[in-house]
Each structure stands twice: as structure tokens, then as C-alpha cells.
């Protein structure tokens, strides 16, 4: 996507209201990250090995693993720093989303039993890990759930034999390894599976015209008696479901930041195209203000939640991801419509960039469950919490102040 160079535009004009949350050295790191992401944008459009090499350069510079724990070789920066980096990545190109982050390799960093292992050290250096959870739906009207995983992990004398099929796997060609969720006799478990393991076959998806998608590849992963050692299990003490939920709680807000970055870039690109008209028509100015405000408000809420001390709240994580993705889609669709109706037209490359961003954002809406299930889950937790509060204040011995209807 063409990036605007007009005064008042660019990613830092969007970040400016939230820069107060960052320390001086964190701002320096964000500046370094943005400069490298600008240079990596052509590789993002090329995809494949070029994008993977760009990721390794970002890791070598200390950007890619900036918020990984210092104990495992990462930068040890605060979580909110990664949110800023992801916004910059999305602004420069959506396909940079895991180039400036350890991505699903964070699953290894979150498990103390994997600290000190060569697989985690490779992640810190830029090794790419794919996540294999979703399976082909047996009923097209039913949303697949992690609890319904049919992939089997059978115990062997030397570890486990995994058989099954995973779908909608990102980085299916470029990944050095995958975290595969499979059902063992005891419970649902997560396994680290090298991409070159015998019996593992990647089936990349193609576009309807037969071409390969830009950026990271997508596709299916077929496992036929893939043998892994006992040490391949992640989160052995808590089980696969807990590992999955903890990881996605951290990962979803990063997706949100990336998508909002892409929306901000689309708005700036539109401004670039209409800036020659002076003065701009009032309806257009109002529309620009509306779209910019929607992105800024979503970004402000994201910064507030990401900067709070302690871990990421899982309910907030679901809401912010669902809302940010939908906001980004709505904004980019609006920009696409406005560009199509600009008097005299806009350059074909600019319109093509916005259309590509809109198509890729729509894929984010489908990934990790559609918006409705995420919001429903967050709403159920809110209702349960509210009910617990009402139970507490109804107790005669409660010390909690009772609300007054007049408040």
C-alpha cells in the first residue's frame, strides 16, 4: 500500500496520543523498528523466503524478540511495546505481522520447561513457528472448537505418534516447526513438531486464479504417524487447552494493533489522493474525521489495556481483537468506496493496495473464530461476574457499599 508523506499523516501521527505510555528507551526501539519495517515492506509483498529473511534481520537487530523474556535471550521489554511495534508493522504492510515478533514461538517462551532449549533459542533468532489447531469442519453450520479436536496422539515406546489433518494453518510453507494440538489418552495436548518431520506434509492453498497468496502462506497440514519424543509436549503440567488460551490472550491484542495499523495506512493513503483538492468538500472532511476518530479511539483502548500491570486479561483480549478487526474492516471498506468515487479517479496501484488490505483483514475476521463467538464469550464472562457481584452485595454481612438507585 502506498504510504502518505504529507504533514500530519504517517504512523506517528496516529501513535502520538498514546506515546505517553512509553519510556525513552522504548520510544527509541519503536523508531528503530519502524525504520526497519519500512525497508522490509517489499519483502512482505514478495513473501516466502524474502519475508523470512526480513524477519531474521529484525530479530538480529533486537526488534523481533523485543518483548520476549530476558531470561531466554529476548529484550525483556513491556508488552505494550510489542503493541506499538505491531501497529507499525500493520501500517507498513499487514504481512509483516509476525516478522517483528516471535509470533506463535511465544508458546515456547511461556513454558519454563522449554527455557534453555535450542528450539527456543532458534525462535529468539527468528525461527518461525506455525500454529495448527483448526480442523476441517464436519458440519459447515457449526463453528469448530478446540475441544472437538480429532487429531490423535498415540503413546509409543519413544514418545508419541500423531495422526490427523489441520486446516487454515498460517506459515504452512515457511515455518521451521509447528505447535500441533492433538488428543492424547489423558487430555488435549500441544506438541512441538519440526516442519521436516517424516510423515508431515504441508499443502499450501492457492488463490482461485491458481496463484500463490502474497505474504505468509496458508494451507493444510497432514500428519501421518508423525513421531515426536516425550520432550515435544508443551505445557505438560497444565494441558493443551490452558496453553492455547494463555497464548491467545497475549496474541489477540497484537492482531488488533496490526489491523488498526493497516486501517490507519488506508486513511492516510486516501488523504494523499485527495489532498490536491483545495478546499476539500465538507462531507469529505467530516468523513475523514469520522474514520480517523474510530481508529484512534480503538487504538487508545488498546494502549490502555496493554499498559496495565500484570498479565493480559483474556476477556478484554477477546473484545479488543474482535472490535479492532471489525473497526479496521469498516474503515478500509469506507476508504475503498471513497477512492472509487473520487472525481477523476485515483491511481490503480493505490486502489489495489487498499483492496488487498481489505481482503487480508477479512481473513483476520475468520481466523481464531469469528467476531460473534469472541464477543459472546466475553459477554458471558461479564454476566457471570455481574451475577457474582449481585450475590455479594445481597449478603447482609457484606462490607461492600450498596448502590443507590438514584446514583
Q: Which of 210, 237, 264 is the last residue of a domain?
A: 237
- Whether residues 70 and 135 share a domain: the answer is no
Claim to verify: residue 228 and residue 278 sit in the same structural domain = no
Q: What cell was used for 285?
A: 472532511
The three grid cell numbers given for residue 35, joined into one nine-digit string: 525504520
Does residue 405 lie within any of the structural domains? no
User: Which is nearest to 151 in space by CA: 220, 101, 103?
Assistant: 220
User: Are 252 and 367 in a shared domain?
Assistant: yes
Shared-domain flag, residues 137 and 232? yes
CATH classification of the domain holding 258: 1.20.140.10
From first CA to last CA, the distance across the chain in angstroms is 50
111 and 156 in a common domain: no
Domain boundary among 169, 203, 237: 237
Q: How many domains does the chain have?
A: 3
CATH number at residue 34: 1.10.540
The pLDDT of residue 382 is 67
* DSSP assignment string, 263-298: HHHHHHHHHHHHTTSSSPPHHHHHHHHHHHHHHHHH
Cell of 53: 529473511
Whole domain around residue 310: which residue ranges? 241-386
**Distance of alpha carbon 403 from alpha carbon 381, whole angstroms:** 22
Of 218, 237, 256, the residue that ends a domain is 237
User: Looking at the structure, do residues 207 and 334 belong to the same domain, yes or no?
Assistant: no
- Residue 5 within a domain: no
Q: How far apart are CA 221 and CA 170, in angstroms?
A: 10
Rounded alpha-carbon distances, angstroms, from residue 297 to 180, 233, 353, 354: 36, 41, 24, 21
> CATH number, domain at 186?
2.40.110.10
* Whole-number Cα distances in Å, 119 to 128, 129, 133: 10, 10, 20
3 assigned to some structural domain: no
**In this structure, is residue 406 part of a structural domain?**
no
Q: Are 111 and 188 part of one and the same domain?
A: no
Give yes or no: residues 346 and 293 share one domain: yes
- Domain presence at residue 16: yes
Residue 2 lies in a domain: no
* pTM of the predicted structure, to 2 decimals: 0.87
381: left (phi over 0), alpha (psi -120 to 50) or beta: alpha
Between helix 282-306 and helix 240-274 the angle, nearest 10°, is 150
Do 230 and 141 fall into the same domain?
A: yes
Domain for residue 76, yes or no?
yes
Query: Are 52 and 178 part of one and the same domain?
Result: no
Three-state DSSP state, 150: coil
| 248 shares its domain with 324 | yes
- Measuring CA to CA, which residue among 234, 233, 171, 166 is closest to residue 200? 166
Say if CB 160 and CB 232 are below 8 A apart. yes
Task: Look at residues 154, 170, 147 and name the one whose alpha carbon lies nearest to residue 240.
Answer: 147
pLDDT tens for the chain, 407 residues long, are: 445 555 567 999 999 999 999 999 999 999 999 999 999 999 998 888 899 999 999 999 999 999 999 999 999 999 999 999 999 999 999 999 889 999 999 999 999 999 999 999 999 999 999 999 988 865 444 444 555 689 999 999 999 999 999 998 988 999 999 999 999 888 889 999 999 999 999 999 875 444 445 678 889 999 999 999 999 999 887 777 888 888 999 999 999 999 999 999 999 998 888 876 667 788 888 999 999 999 999 999 999 999 988 888 888 898 899 999 999 999 999 999 988 887 667 788 888 889 989 988 887 766 654 455 666 666 776 666 555 555 555 554 444 444 444 43
Please check whether residue 153 is in contact with residue 184, taking contact to mean a CB–CB distance below 8 angstroms: yes
Query: Do 17 and 97 lie in a common domain?
Result: yes
The answer as to whether 279 is a domain residue is yes
CA 223 to centroid of chain Cα atoms: 25
Amino acid at each position: 500500500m502506498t504510504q502518505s508523506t504529507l504533514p500530519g499523516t504517517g504512523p506517528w501521527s496516529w501513535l502520538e496520543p498514546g506515546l505517553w505510555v512509553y519510556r525513552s528507551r522504548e520510544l527509541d526501539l519503536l523508531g528503530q523498528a519502524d525504520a526497519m519495517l519500512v525497508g522490509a515492506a517489499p519483502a512482505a509483498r514478495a513473501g516466502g523466503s524474502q519475508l523470512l529473511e526480513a524477519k531474521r534481520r529484525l530479530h538480529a537487530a533486537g526488534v523481533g524478540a523485543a518483548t520476549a523474556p530476558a531470561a531466554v535471550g529476548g529484550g525483556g521489554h513491556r508488552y505494550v511495546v510489542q503493541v506499538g511495534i505491531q501497529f507499525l508493522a500493520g501500517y507498513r504492510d499487514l504481512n509483516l505481522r509476525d516478522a517483528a515478533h516471535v509470533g506463535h514461538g511465544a508458546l515456547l517462551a511461556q513454558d519454563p520447561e522449554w527455557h534453555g532449549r535450542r528450539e527456543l533459542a532458534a525462535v529468539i533468532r527468528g525461527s518461525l513457528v506455525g500454529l495448527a489447531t483448526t480442523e476441517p469442519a464436519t458440519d459447515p453450520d457449526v463453528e469448530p472448537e478446540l475441544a472437538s479436536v480429532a487429531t490423535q496422539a498415540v503413546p509409543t515406546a519413544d514418545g508419541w505418534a500423531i495422526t490427523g489433518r489441520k486446516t487454515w494453518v498460517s506459515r504452512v510453507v515457511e515455518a521451521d516447526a509447528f505447535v500441533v494440538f492433538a488428543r492424547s489418552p489423558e487430555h488435549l495436548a500441544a506438541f512441538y513438531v519440526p516442519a521436516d518431520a517424516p510423515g508431515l506434509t504441508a499443502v499450501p492453498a492457492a488463490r482461485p486464479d491458481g496463484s500463490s497468496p502474497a505474504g505468509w502462506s496458508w494451507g493444510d497440514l497432514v500428519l501421518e504417524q508423525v513421531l515426536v519424543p516425550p520432550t515435544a509436549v508443551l505445557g505438560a503440567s497444565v494441558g493443551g487447552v490452558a496453553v492455547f488460551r494463555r497464548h491467545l490472550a497475549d496474541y489477540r491484542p497484537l492482531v488488533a494493533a496490526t489491523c488498526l495499523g493497516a486501517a490507519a495506512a488506508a486513511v492516510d493513503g486516501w488523504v494523499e489522493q485527495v489532498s490536491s483538492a483545495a478546499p476539500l468538500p465538507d462531507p469529505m472532511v467530516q468523513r475523514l474525521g469520522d474514520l480517523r476518530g474510530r481508529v484512534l479511539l480503538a487504538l487508545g483502548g488498546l494502549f490502555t489495556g496493554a499498559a496495565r500491570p500484570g498479565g493480559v486479561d483474556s476477556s478484554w483480549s477477546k473484545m479488543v481483537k474482535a472490535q479492532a478487526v471489525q473497526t479496521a474492516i469498516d474503515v478500509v471498506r469506507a476508504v475503498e468506496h471513497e477512492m472509487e468515487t473520487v472525481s477523476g479517479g485515483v491511481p490503480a496501484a493505490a486502489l489495489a493496495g487498499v483492496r488487498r488490505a481489505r481482503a487480508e483483514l477479512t481473513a483476520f475476521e475468520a481466523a481464531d473464530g469469528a467476531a460473534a463467538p469472541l464477543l459472546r464469550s466475553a459477554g458471558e464472562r461479564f454476566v457471570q461476574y455481574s451475577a457474582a457481584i449481585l450475590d455479594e452485595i445481597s449478603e447482609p454481612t457484606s462490607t461492600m457499599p450498596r448502590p443507590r438507585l438514584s446514583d
